[in-house]
Amino acid sequence: MGKYFGTDGFRGEANKVLTVEHAYKVGRFLGWYYSQENGRKCRVVIGKDTRRSSYMFEYSLVAGLTASGADAYLLHVTTTPSVSYVVRTEDFDCGIMISASHNPFYDNGIKVLNGRGEKLEEEVSDKIEAYIDGETGEIPFAVREEIGRAEDYSQGRNRYVGYLISLATRSYKGMKVGLDCSNGSAFSIAKNVFDALGAKTYVINNEPDGTNINLNCGSTHIEVLQEYVVENQLDVGFAYDGDADRCIAVDENGRVVDGDLILYICGLYMKERGMLDTNTVVTTVMSNIGLYKALDIAGIRYEKTNVGDRFVYENMVSNGHRLGGEQSGHIIFSKYASTGDGILTSLKLMEVMLEKKEKLGKLTSPVDIYPQLLKNIRVKSKPEAREDADVKKAVEKVADALGNDGRILVRESGTEPLIRVMVEAKTDELCEKYVSDVLEVIKAKGHEA
């Protein structure tokens, strides 16, 4: 990770950590850099989520891009995967998504995608950081007819909607589907897709006002959709985050189907139909032991990466794997997308349900998920807390106590000043005890911020 760019772009509280000046300089650098790299006028497509500050950052980015001679094409409010789709299918040099994903409305972020619709290479983000900090030379301003322009490009978003619809294998007629759009980007896309496919669509949290994105709704507050599915006797529900690159599902009984269960359902289905090239599912180190045991029984191999969908995707591309993702709901189907895509994930789950004529609850039944507890602690220095000898000793003590009946994972957040402590064990009580044991040592050693 760099000074500004973490595992998922440049993120922080708007105009405190991430300012309009930062956005302007990001635009200035990208407009100049890609023009130099490709020997032609740079073309950049920009999307944003529903946060109040997204408009401010959009205008700042456009000013920077056009001042460097680049043309900016505006998708307006849209999802991160739609930006990725437009970049890779319509010959753009790069794409920018303005979003802080599942964070509260007062945070925002700048996610940059390369010309293949993938997360930006670290070497390029390092160059952006050097420019922001004044460590490189000045970038010339474009003048006269070389100054760039900004254009409405809502047709790109519409083509993405058409692409999603084209992926469905059956009509959804007769299916009662609930969608929690998190008052975010999905509000302008998800219902249109499900309606077009014939579902009876029930939508909640689709009235964004700039400050209610992710507020007690969406994939990080799945209990809202759970209650809604049960009350309305729906067949299935799907919850998205602010920029709709992740999906958490709810089955017909109101039970949560997280990213691990989605990987199992789709992995088994793809294996049965000869679509799981390499017979491997890519996970992160956060995936549950129960998933691995179920994959073992199904005869499906798996690989583990660091937390972050960029690491999952890099592994998939390097090894030719077709399916990967995170417990949090970032699921990547590499045949169809180069990022996690919440709405696409919904469609693939619908495909399994309809083709196998099974309810979602039945499809998840072979997986016995272990109790898991994750707690975060805000710290003064992530490396110092993580490497403290007494903290490491406490972690080793828990690992020894768990043996083969669980595990502990302590890691640094990629986007916030947090240490995350996760324990899986046979009971919730054991999870609570062992997480608390480690957190108490971190606090006792003075690392808590």
Query: pLDDT tens track of the chain, all 449 residues?
Result: 678 998 789 999 999 999 999 999 999 999 999 999 988 999 999 999 999 999 999 999 999 999 999 999 999 999 999 999 999 999 999 999 999 999 999 999 999 999 999 999 999 999 999 999 999 989 999 999 999 999 999 999 999 999 999 999 999 999 999 999 999 999 989 999 999 999 999 999 999 999 999 999 999 999 999 999 999 999 999 999 999 999 999 999 999 999 999 999 999 999 999 999 999 999 999 899 899 999 999 999 999 999 888 899 999 999 999 999 999 999 999 999 999 999 999 999 999 999 999 999 999 999 999 999 999 999 999 999 989 999 999 999 999 999 888 889 998 887 688 999 999 998 999 999 999 999 999 999 999 98
> Which residue reads 């992740």 in tokens?
246
Spatial distance between the Cα atoms of 264 and 279, rounded to a whole number of angstroms: 12
Fold match flag (5-157 vs 372-444): no
Query: What tokens were used for 152?
Result: 């409405």
- The annotation status of 126 as a binding-site residue, yes or no, is no
CATH number (1.50.10.20, 3.90.79.10, 3.30.1330.60, 3.30.310.50) of 372-444 reads 3.30.310.50
Bridge-partner residues for 73, per DSSP?
A: 45, 151
Spatial distance between the Cα atoms of 70 and 35, rounded to a whole number of angstroms: 8
- The annotation status of 245 as a binding-site residue, yes or no, is yes
CA 354 to mean position of chain CA atoms:
26
The burial class, CB within 10 Å (0-12 / 13-18 / 19+), for 445 is: middle
Catalytically annotated residue among 60, 68, 84, 101: 101
Query: What was the pLDDT predicted at 78?
Result: 98
- Cα atoms in the 13 Å half-sphere on the side-chain side of 381: 7
- The annotation status of 152 as a binding-site residue, yes or no, is no
In CATH terms, is domain 5-157 a member of 3.40.120.10? yes
- Nearest in space to 5 (alpha carbons), one of 27, 28, 22, 24: 22
283's CB contacts (< 8 A; 6+ apart) are 260, 263, 291, 292, 302, 303, 304, 305, 312, 324, 325, 326, 327
* pTM summary value: 0.91
Number of H helices, E strands in the chain: 15, 19
326's CB contacts (< 8 A; 6+ apart) are 246, 259, 283, 284, 286, 287, 307, 308, 309, 312, 340
Rg (CA), the chain: 22
Give the CATH H-level superfamily of domain 167-364. Alpha-D-Glucose-1,6-Bisphosphate, subunit A, domain 3 (3.40.120.10)
Query: What was the pLDDT predicted at 191?
Result: 97
Spatial distance between the Cα atoms of 128 and 29, rounded to a whole number of angstroms: 6
Query: What was the pLDDT predicted at 416?
Result: 80
Query: What was the pLDDT predicted at 1?
Result: 61
What's at 153, amino acid-wise?
A: Y
- The annotation status of 101 as a binding-site residue, yes or no, is yes
Query: What was the pLDDT predicted at 35?
Result: 95
324's CB contacts (< 8 A; 6+ apart) are 263, 281, 282, 283, 312, 313, 315, 316, 331, 332, 334
Q: Is 171 a residue of the active site?
A: no
- Nearest in space to 218 (alpha carbons), one of 105, 108, 338, 310: 105
Spatial distance between the Cα atoms of 39 and 366, rounded to a whole number of angstroms: 54
Query: What was the pLDDT predicted at 287?
Result: 93
Domain boundaries, the chain: 5-157, 167-364, 372-444
Query: What tokens were used for 315?
Result: 């592994």
Helix (H) or strand (E) holding 304: strand 301-305
